[in-house]
Amino acid sequence: MPDIKAEIKKEVSRRKTFAIISHPDAGKTTLTEKLLLYGGAIRMAGSVKSRKANKFAVSDWMEIEKQRGISVTSSVMQFEYNNYCINILDTPGHQDFSEDTYRTLVAADSAVMLIDGAKGIEAQTIKLFHVCKLRGIPIFTFVNKMDRASKDPFELMEEIERVLGIRSYPMNWPIGIDGDFKGVYNRKLKQIELFTGGEHGQSQVSSQVGKVDDQVFADLLGSHYHGKLCEDIELLDMAGDEFDKRKIRSGELTPMFFGSAMTNFGVQPFLEEFLDLAPSPGIVEAIGSEIDPESDKFSGFIFKIQANMNPTHRDRLAFIRICSGKFKKGMSVRHVNAGKEVRLSQPQQFMAQERTIVEEAFAGDIIGLFDPGIFNIGDTLFEGGDNIRFKGIPIFPAEFFSRITPADTMKRKQFIKGIDQLSEEGAIQVFKQIDIGIEALIVGVVGALQFEVLEYRLKNEYGVQLRVQNLPFRHARWIKNEGLDPRKLNLPSTAIIVEDKLGRNSILFENEWSIRMAEERNKDLQLVDIATQD
């Protein structure tokens, strides 16, 4: 049907699906809100609910999760701008940093790396950056909080290269730093854009635009700022990297923008340039084949499962990233991993403020499906008879480990059930210590808060009180060598050998030093820090 093909092509090409990666407090919530403001999805800034997990005790946080059902801020927000259909994926940060944070990046076609101009590259940004790099998606840099004293922009460029190993290309350049941020210089158009208004970030700002050598700007800025700007531009043009769209698309060069999410200065120029450069959904690799987003056959994979949103029902929402074709409410698709047909009923989509039932959706979109317990993370859904299967979603490195047992040994069955459920959701990674048996499981998590969530959920959903013993390990490494007997390895005394839930051998280490020691003592040993689910 040519009509459908044309419709899919058009819809796919106007979609931009991305995630914002940043360290807590860099301004992700504020920037997200301002993008929605410019997209007309909200009228006044300040209306996106604060979701600061660190303001609440864990139990409050769990209650909040339940009460709000699935909040927009915990999954994805969709809005329109200049005929683009934009999906912003939320990457949970703060204390609720977990595997979900990493996994969300698997569903994104590009990432915006948000940096606090005064602080530069921070720890959590580095971790998230590496996941994006691994996927080879384009990474855009927005240097935020330019309204305050910040590091020198050249210094920030140098830091990005030194810490992250990626070259940057400033798309614009700040005018007036150290608390006197006036505007940006647009390198492509060789134009100055000075901002005014915006009611302290409540509404869109006005701007005055013109050529850099226009006397008006020299007068407006004064000779100090104008002179400095002209010098900086000359230096950038001479010593900086060339603009290279191919390198941007492959994630080798990051386009860099300066602005202030709080005052809105620089938000719109960023949004427009970003939408122009960021890729629409592209080809997705499946096992043994490639899926074209414009194919008329629906396909998608599940990257996140959120369980027990409604305390009276054991319901779960499975989040699907659509990879190709057109989704229609109530359609039947093949659940490839389970080998059966399923009807996709009650699909949910998330607009700026509320969730709505979705009638149709296209590649690049994220929808939440009511899940009666048939979906797992990494599952492929496909329209049509073929058994295509997307590659498994990586298991990201856990950083905290505990040995857990049920406080009441009579509750072992519920304990196992709860642990299985949480492990299926991808909230925890389960290991067994070799030669010690299964009496005490070792659980690994990406964020420390997950242990409290684990205890809370096992108690409330399965009636099991846990005994938790924290372990000193910080790194899990999978052994890549086929057929190697890990017991024959010469390991540092602090490391232990474990099996993951698929029976694969791995080693838990306390620090980087002991990993290096293990590698040195066992020259053939090959260790990897990210495994796949299958």
Q: Which residues bind ligand GDP (CB under 6 A)?
A: 22, 24-30, 144-145, 147-148, 260-262
Select 31 or 194, whichever has its Cβ closest to ligand GDP.
Answer: 31
CB of 286 to ligand GDP, least distance (A): 34
Select 171 or 442, whichever has its Cβ closest to ligand GDP.
Answer: 171
Packed helices 449-462 and 412-425: angle between N→C axes, nearest 10 degrees: 130
CB of 30 to ligand GDP, least distance (A): 3
CB of 217 to ligand GDP, least distance (A): 23
Distance (Å) of CA 113 to CA 87, 120, 291: 16, 11, 28
Select 148 or 504, whichever has its Cβ closest to ligand GDP.
Answer: 148
CB of 264 to ligand GDP, least distance (A): 9
CB of 49 to ligand GDP, least distance (A): 12
CB 182 within 8 A of CB 195: yes
Task: Give me the residue label for tokens 């701007």.
Answer: 207
Select 49 or 343, whichever has its Cβ closest to ligand GDP.
Answer: 49
Which region, left, alpha or beta, applies to residue 145 given φ > 0 means left and ψ of -120 to 50 means alpha?
left
CB of 360 to ligand GDP, least distance (A): 31
Distance (Å) of CA 10 to CA 6, 277, 297: 6, 17, 15
CB of 119 to ligand GDP, least distance (A): 11
Token pair in block for residue 366: 């994220």
Select 27 or 347, whichever has its Cβ closest to ligand GDP.
Answer: 27
243: DSSP letter: P
Token pair in block for residue 256: 């860099």
Give the integer Cα–Cα distance in Å for 316 and 309: 7
CB of 260 to ligand GDP, least distance (A): 4
Q: Are strands 316-324 and 380-382 parallel, antiparallel or unpaired?
A: unpaired
| φ, ψ (nearest 5 deg) of residue 200 | 55, 40
Select 144 or 514, whichever has its Cβ closest to ligand GDP.
Answer: 144
Query: Mind giving me the DSSP string for 133-148?
Result: HHHT--EEEEEE-TTS
Q: Which one, of 65, 147, 69, lies nearest residue 98 by Cα?
A: 65
Select 16 or 28, whichever has its Cβ closest to ligand GDP.
Answer: 28
CB 160 within 8 A of CB 119: no
Q: How many CB atoms lie within 10 A of CB 448?
A: 14
CB of 29 to ligand GDP, least distance (A): 3
Distance (Å) of CA 219 to CA 183, 314, 326, 410: 15, 66, 55, 81
Q: Are strands 84-89 and 15-22 parallel, antiparallel or unpaired?
A: parallel
Select 144 or 254, whichever has its Cβ closest to ligand GDP.
Answer: 144
Select 201 or 444, whichever has its Cβ closest to ligand GDP.
Answer: 201
Give the integer Cα–Cα distance in Å for 359 and 281: 20
